[in-house]
A = this chain, B = another copy of it.
Amino acid sequence: MTTREEQRRKVTERLAGHLLATGLARTSVRQMAAAAQVSDRMLLYYFNDKAEALGEAMGHVVAQLGGRLEAALPAGDRMPPERLLAEAARIATEPEVRPFMALWMEVIAAAARGEAPYAGIARQVTTGFLSWIETRLDIEDPERRNATAGLILATVDGLALLEIGAGAPAALAAAERARDVRFTP
């Protein structure tokens, strides 16, 4: 028989996949249980409540994305903001990364509306992104580096947002145009 911890791990992975595939739309306890191939009764046995299950799954998703980002653009070599913006836009529009961005939009929106687990998650992920960007910027002044990281993150997130509202071609054209951006000084 599989122990509770094992099942919890397995369910977490399946839930993460489910989130990436369908977003936050199908996250009722019964729907999550079905996606994890488990009865709803058992889902709430493995996790104390729905928020814990969702939080665990989101954590798994974030870790996955973290690894992917690290692989795509290893830390260590710093670059000017123009190049980092282009790289970030490129990565964010990769087919494998786009489910993450879509989910990310939903989390942000849920956080904006103050839904319980999401506000904390959004804050945590945002600061993670910001420091990821900052450690790759070759800007000396910390304040300017931080502000620039914010602007780059805003632009990349905004491109994902544009894709939702105006379609992929428009977003792609705008991402292309982002290559013409220069930061002064």
Contact = CB atoms under 8 A, between A and B. Distances in A.
Nearest to A146: B173
Given A25-B113, A151-B174, A166 B106 contact: no
A31 B180 CA distance: 47
Given A154-B155, A180-B183, 9 more contacts: A106-B109, A150-B162, A151-B177, A153-B162, A154-B161, A157-B158, A158-B158, A158-B159, A182-B182
> What is the total number of copies of this protein in its complex?
2
A158 to B, nearest CB: 3
Interface residues of A, number: 53
Contacts of A151: 155, 159, 174-175, 177-178, 181
Interface string A106-144: 101111111100000011011100100000000000011
Contacts of A25: 113-115
| A interface majority secondary structure | helix
12 contacts: A23-B113, A108-B161, A108-B164, A123-B165, A126-B162, A130-B166, A143-B173, A144-B177, A153-B162, A154-B162, A155-B155, A156-B158
A24 interface: yes
A185 interface: yes
Interface string A82-113: 00000000000000000000100110111111
